[in-house]
Amino acid sequence: MSDGLVQHPDGKSRCWWCGADPLYMAYHDTEWGVPERDGRALFEKLILDGFQAGLSWITILRKRDAFRRAFADFDPAEIARFTDAHVEALMLDAGIVRNRAKIEGTILSARAYLAMGGADAFSRFLWDFVGGAPLQTRRAKRGDIPPADEMSRAVSAALKKAGFKFCGPTIVYAFMQACGLVNDHLVGCHRQIVCEELA
């Protein structure tokens, strides 16, 4: 195996980061790197990546259903109407990450999303950065994957200018990987070719 690939008992090679946790492996095999074009789903993933900062992604995955309940299934129109009372209630919700700045940032990001024009506009905005098609990096080893790059810095700057919060270049790069704007499954991972074909 090359640096960054793990051979699992089912005979499949996977990127190192999903380990052996069944939930993490299922996420790796069914979601991560799959091109996502639905604007609402993209919004959800961007928000969750923002909450993940400073934590492990598996922590967020385990809390994802609770996040969906707490944030109206990530309906930006609903979230944009959240009041101070909603924020206080969310600060008492042990099912999510109780970070006031990130909760308030989610409300501001929902308003930015609506101001941008909603689902279709948000999707076009993001996919335009990669020319409408996923970037195929075909990286060979773990050390080849950067924490951020020129593209994620450009997307981050544009999101911040539009009013989105918690969308720094590192968060944005992880988001782009997760949503398949960038296919960063390592060569040899059983999902690399699958995601490339989905493009």
Residue ranges for the binding site for Zn(2+)? 15, 28, 185, 189
- What percent of the chain is helix, strand and coil (3-state, nearest 5)? 60, 5, 35
Please give the annotated binding residues, written as ranges: 15, 28, 185, 189
CB 154 within 8 A of CB 131: no
CB 97 within 8 A of CB 63: yes
Backbone angles phi, psi at 148, to 5 degrees: -160, 165
Rounded distance between C-alpha atoms, residue 151 and residue 146, angstroms: 11
> Which are the contacts of 95, defined by CB distance < 8 A and separation ≥ 6?
63, 66, 67, 69, 70
Q: How far is CA 31 from the centre of its chain?
A: 10
Rounded distance between C-alpha atoms, residue 46 and residue 27, angstroms: 16
The strand pairing partners of 136, in sequence order, are 183
Rounded distance between C-alpha atoms, residue 115 and residue 138, angstroms: 36
**Local structure of 135: helix, strand or coil:** strand
**Local structure of 189: helix, strand or coil:** strand
